[in-house]
């Protein structure tokens, strides 16, 4: 299982919160062409951060950013509906997907398969919960049907997965680079010890 120091978790949590603020929705701090990192951030936080308070903090930040974004646009009733609370279990699925992966972690290429499985399952569950609740309970669709919902999932689901995969792949590359740097430093220290 992956273990980070408390300091490393705090710094990483702050970085994830800043990334959420920079990419979520269209608000005052939005970076124009970056897709929302929210889904990936909940997954990544579940993988690296041990405290359940990290999930609560990211969730609170997401809600505040959504309220401010739709408040600026004057369309709060369009995005925040009775289905909005279902984001809690949707993002929870992402968090738990990251947690599941963390319990199986070892620094080896064989982690690619569990990573792929956990990302696809967690994001699919998140998509079903968030899109399904909005489609069926928001009141935006006159006569919701399973066939139409399936078509919407096929149309919009890959875009959500694409965004998530982008950020997870970037994180995996950074993770591998940090591991390689740590191994190099450890080998350099051992070499110096042998030469003394």
Q: What are phi and psi of 104, to 5 degrees?
A: -105, 5
pTM for the whole thing? 0.85
Q: Domain coordinates of the chain in residue numbers?
A: 6-195
Sequence-ordered alpha helix ranges (H) in 76-145: 76-79, 87-103, 112-137
What pLDDT does residue 29 have?
41
What pLDDT does residue 160 have?
82
Residue for token pair 């919902």: 149
131, 156 contact by CB (below 8 A): yes
Q: What is the mean pLDDT of each run of 10 residues along the chain (196 residues)?
A: 83 92 62 74 95 93 85 63 91 96 84 92 94 87 90 87 90 87 76 62
Q: Give me the CATH topology for the region 6-195.
A: Arp2/3 complex 21 kDa subunit ARPC3 (1.10.1760)
């Amino acid at each position: 299982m992956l273990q980070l120091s408390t300091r490393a978790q705090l710094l990483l949590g702050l970085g994830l919160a800043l990334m959420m603020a920079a990419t979520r929705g269209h608000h005052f701090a939005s970076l124009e062409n970056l897709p929302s990192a929210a889904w990936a951030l909940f997954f990544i936080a579940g993988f690296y951060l041990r405290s359940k308070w990290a999930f609560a903090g990211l969730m609170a930040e997401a809600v505040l950013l959504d309220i401010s974004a739709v408040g600026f646009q004057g369309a709060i009733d369009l995005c925040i509906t009775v289905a909005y609370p279902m984001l809690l279990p949707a993002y929870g699925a992402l968090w738990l997907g990251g947690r599941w992966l963390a319990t199986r972690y070892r620094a080896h290429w064989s982690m690619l398969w569990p990573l792929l499985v956990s990302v696809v399952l967690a994001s699919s569950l998140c998509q079903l919960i968030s899109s399904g609740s909005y489609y069926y309970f928001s009141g935006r669709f006159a006569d919701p049907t399973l066939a139409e919902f399936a078509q919407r999932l096929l149309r919009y689901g890959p875009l959500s997965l694409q965004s998530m995969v982008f950020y997870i792949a970037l994180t995996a590359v950074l993770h591998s680079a940090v591991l390689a740097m740590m191994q190099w430093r450890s080998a350099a220290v051992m070499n110096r010890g042998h030469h003394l």
